[in-house]
């Protein structure tokens, strides 16, 4: 398989660095070589927007700068994907591989393949992941696409919740970049990926789950990538 694997990590945050290191080591066990990508802190969004030429930002609600920082981090990797003309496997710092990627996975989808379609905010997540290890991996299309409100994008339903592990191809990344060039920042990264802009696929069972020691229901003191990326702004208040 010809792809690049990157993990988004806030390199000045010890907790984020530790989680990312554990996830990189876990991926290595399955022969997946992952490079770190320094995340954009939401407090520095003006610098990142200037760098990427993003001129329009929708109103960011109080305490949501981390969501913007996370979006800009994914955006940076979408740009790399296009510029290198290579599919990118993108992990957030808590994307934890539990089984190898199918050798032919890149031939099984057109635009994006999510590597964990289970809802981590369900109390049954950890048990469902454990049970999934008994099943073979199959790549198939998403369903349950619906419009939401009067926003420009149309979203995938509850299945595409979070962007901690997915593979994106250059054609798809270009579509996301083009949308931002026209409309600016509108929604979170996972919502934009899960829009009708792209043909969405997923593995039927998790290949890379949320880190088992940091997922909801395991460690209530854990923090998501978006929380880390907005942390400085909250400390200043």
Q: How many domains does the chain have?
A: 1
Q: 24 falls in which pLDDT band (50, 70, 90)?
A: very high
For residue 153, what pLDDT is reported? 37
For residue 171, what pLDDT is reported? 97
For residue 120, what pLDDT is reported? 72
Q: Looking at residue 152, which CATH number applies to its domain? A: 3.90.550
Q: What is the largest CA-CA distance in the chain?
A: 49
Strand partners, 208: 97
Question: 132: domain range?
Answer: 4-236
Q: Is 131 exposed, middle or buried (0-12, 13-18, 19+ CB in 10 A)?
A: exposed
Determine the Cα–Cα distance for residues 92 and 31; give it in Å rounded to an integer: 18
pLDDT, tens digit, for every residue of 43-79? 888 899 999 999 888 766 655 788 889 999 999 999 9
Number of other CB atoms surrounding residue 168 within 10 Å:
27
Q: Is 200 exposed, middle or buried (0-12, 13-18, 19+ CB in 10 A)?
A: buried
For residue 156, give the H/E element and its range.
Answer: strand 154-156
For residue 61, what pLDDT is reported? 62
pLDDT, tens digit, for every residue of 177-235? 999 999 888 888 988 888 778 998 989 889 999 998 764 333 333 455 655 555 553 34
Query: Across residues 165-187, what is the average pLDDT?
Result: 93
For residue 77, what pLDDT is reported? 98
Spell out the alpha helix ranges (H) of the chain: 14-29, 45-52, 65-84, 125-132, 170-183, 189-193, 225-229, 231-236
Q: 7 falls in which pLDDT band (50, 70, 90)?
A: very high
For residue 152, what pLDDT is reported? 35
* CB of 114 closer than 8 Å to CB of 201: yes
For residue 116, what pLDDT is reported? 87
């Amino acid at each position: 398989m010809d792809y690049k694997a990157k993990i988004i990590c806030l390199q000045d945050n010890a907790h984020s660095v530790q989680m990312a290191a554990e996830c990189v080591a876990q991926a290595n066990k399955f022969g997946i070589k992952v490079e770190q990508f320094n995340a954009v802190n939401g407090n520095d969004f003006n610098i990142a927007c200037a760098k990427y030429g993003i001129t329009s930002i929708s109103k960011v609600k109080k305490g949501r700068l981390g969501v913007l920082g996370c979006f800009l981090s994914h955006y940076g990797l979408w740009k790399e994907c296009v510029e290198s003309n290579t599919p990118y496997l993108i992990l957030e710092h808590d994307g934890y591989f539990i089984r190898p990627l199918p050798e032919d996975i890149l031939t099984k989808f057109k635009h994006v393949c999510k590597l964990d379609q289970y809802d981590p905010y369900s109390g049954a997540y950890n048990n469902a992941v454990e049970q999934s290890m008994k099943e073979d991996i199959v790549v198939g299309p998403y369903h349950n696409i619906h419009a939401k409100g009067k926003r420009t994008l149309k979203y995938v339903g509850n299945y595409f919740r979070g962007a901690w592990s997915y593979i994106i191809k250059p054609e798809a990344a270009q579509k996301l970049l083009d949308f931002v060039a026209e409309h600016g920042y509108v929604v979170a990264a996972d919502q934009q990926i899960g829009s009708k802009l792209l043909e969405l696929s997923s593995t039927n069972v998790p290949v890379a789950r949320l880190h088992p020691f940091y997922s909801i229901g395991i460690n209530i003191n854990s923090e998501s990538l978006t929380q880390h990326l907005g942390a400085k702004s909250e400390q200043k208040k």
